[in-house]
Amino acid sequence: MRTALVIGTGLIGTSAALALKARGVAVHLVDHDPDRAATAAALGAGTDAPPEGRVDLAVVAVPPAHVAASVAAAMRAGAARAYVDVASVKGGPRRELTQLGLDLTAYIGTHPMSGKERSGPFAASGDLFEGRPWVLTPTRDTDTEVLNLALELVALCRAVPVVMDADAHDRAVALVSHTPQLISSMVAARLREADETAVRLCGQGIRDVTRIAASDPRMWVEILSANPGPVADVLAGVAADLDGTVRALRALDSADEAKRAEGASGIEDVLRRGNAGRERVPGKHGAGVPTAYEVVGVLISDRPGELARIFADAERAGVNVEDVRIEHATGQQAGLVQLYVEPSAAAGLSEALRERGWALRP
């Protein structure tokens, strides 16, 4: 790939442009707002001058609702040898393009899984995609050369290509991203009416479950509007579990012992299925953390450098810290640092930290 045209210079478009530019591709930038394209160019993402003739790859980086029209316009202008979009849903745009009667051998829908709190070209970075999954949704009509150009884009952005069917992609993100967002918001919403004393009892569990409830509502309305069916299907499954769980809890509240036993077994069932599902979450925060690692708890003050000293002491002890959580307790300035380490390393680390004067909590 020698030349590319990035259509839409928001966070994703500008980040891709920066990555391509850094690897020697001549990048042209265009946006419905010429100022934004000029900004991306000023940030070093390429030129906002139009390309002379056809480029190798057009990267359409516009919101889901505008993907089909943008791809169609670029195709009709003969702008590129290959066309990709990078929107967070894939089934809808493909169906719209098919309805427009376009030849889709030169098109692949893609989705780089790189979230970000901020948007726009100023938030962009050439390493946004590094090590992240980048979904590609070729069909059997896709030209091999087009697939290879898309794979080259992913490689130049140092992402990890994952090939999926477009509709399977939409169901997958409904499951692993869109549903957790809505459920987190619903649990957090329950806290609105809680009294101050109840809120003081919040621990690490509810903190983690509601962390993403702080996300931007407008961005999420856009995302969910483009994928409502698959998300509703997953939520319907949660709703069925929820109804069953409420019934089990009511049975647990009964005076009848057989009913109570039935309720307990219903509750245990959903908790066990939760264990099994959690096992499938990959990564350090996945199934490994609570079971495979031991936690060493260290009490710290809020002075700068406490963490640096803990980690330096852990290194001195020859222990690799696999994960860490920091928690501040109600009514105290002091915090608790939870170090996740291999079980075989826990006792040695505890001893080493105690020797160096740290107060531990098991």
55, burial (CB in 10 Å: exposed 0-12, middle 13-18, buried 19+): buried
CB 302 to a copy of itself: min, Å: 8
b/e map 62-85, b = 16+ CB within 10 Å? bebebbbebbbebbeeebbbbbbb
| 38-46, 74-82, 101-109, 219-227 -> range binding a copy of itself (CB under 8 A) | 219-227
- Give the range of 37-45, 79-87, 144-152, 221-229 binding a copy of itself by CB under 8 A: 221-229
Gap between the Cα atoms of 95 and 233, Å rounded: 20
Token code pair at residue 67: 């993907």
Please report which helix (H) or strand (E) contains residue 184, including its range.
helix 179-189
Nearest to 288 by CA among 211, 340, 347, 349: 340
Positive/negative CA dihedral, 245, 246, 247, 249: positive
250 interacts with a copy of itself by CB under 8 A: yes
Q: Total binding residues for a copy of itself by CB under 8 A? A: 145
Is the CB of residue 3 less than 8 Å from the CB of residue 55? yes
Q: Is 95 in the site for a copy of itself (CB under 8 A)?
A: no
Structure tokens at 143: 């030209």
Is there binding between residue 315 and a copy of itself (CB under 8 A)? yes
171 part of the interface to a copy of itself, by CB under 8 A = yes
Assess 186 for contact with a copy of itself (CB under 8 A): yes
Q: Does 221 bind a copy of itself (CB under 8 A)?
A: yes
Question: Which of residues 32, 54, 328, 354 is near a copy of itself by CB under 8 A?
Answer: 328
Residue matched to tokens 């996945």: 286
Minimum distance, C-beta of residue 189 to a copy of itself, in the bound complex (Å): 4
DSSP structure string for 310-362: HHHHHHHTT----EEEEEE-TT-S-EEEEEEE-HHHHHHHHHHHHHTTPEEE-
Residue numbers 269-288 binding a copy of itself by CB under 8 A: 270-287
Stretch that binds a copy of itself, among 37-45, 99-107, 145-153, 169-177 (CB under 8 A): 169-177
Whole-angstrom Cα distance, residue 250 to residue 297?
A: 37
Candidate residues 100, 102, 151, 324; the one interacting with a copy of itself per rule CB under 8 A: 324
Would you count residue 338 as binding a copy of itself (CB under 8 A)? no
Total Cβ atoms within 10 A of residue 171: 18
Q: Which stretch binds a copy of itself (CB under 8 A): 41-49, 56-64, 108-116, 136-144?
A: 108-116
Q: How far is the CB of 50 from a copy of itself (least distance, A)?
A: 29
Asked if 190 is part of the footprint of a copy of itself (rule: CB under 8 A), the reply reads: yes
Dist. CA 174–CA 165, nearest whole Å: 14
Question: 17 to 56, contacts with a copy of itself by CB under 8 A?
Answer: none
State in angstroms the smallest separation of the CB of 204 from a copy of itself. 7
Q: Is 10:125 a contact under the CB 8 Å cutoff?
A: no
CB of 201 to a copy of itself, least distance (A): 5
- Smallest gap from Cβ 32 to a copy of itself, in A, equals 22
Q: For residues 102 and 288, which CB has a smaller minimum distance to a copy of itself in the complex? A: 288
Closest C-alpha to 87, from 76, 97, 99, 102: 97
Which range of residues in 21-29, 46-54, 73-81, 315-323 is near a copy of itself by CB under 8 A? 315-323
65 contributes a contact to a copy of itself by CB under 8 A: no
Binding of a copy of itself by 119 (CB under 8 A): no
Comparison of 98 and 204: residue with beta carbon closer to a copy of itself: 204
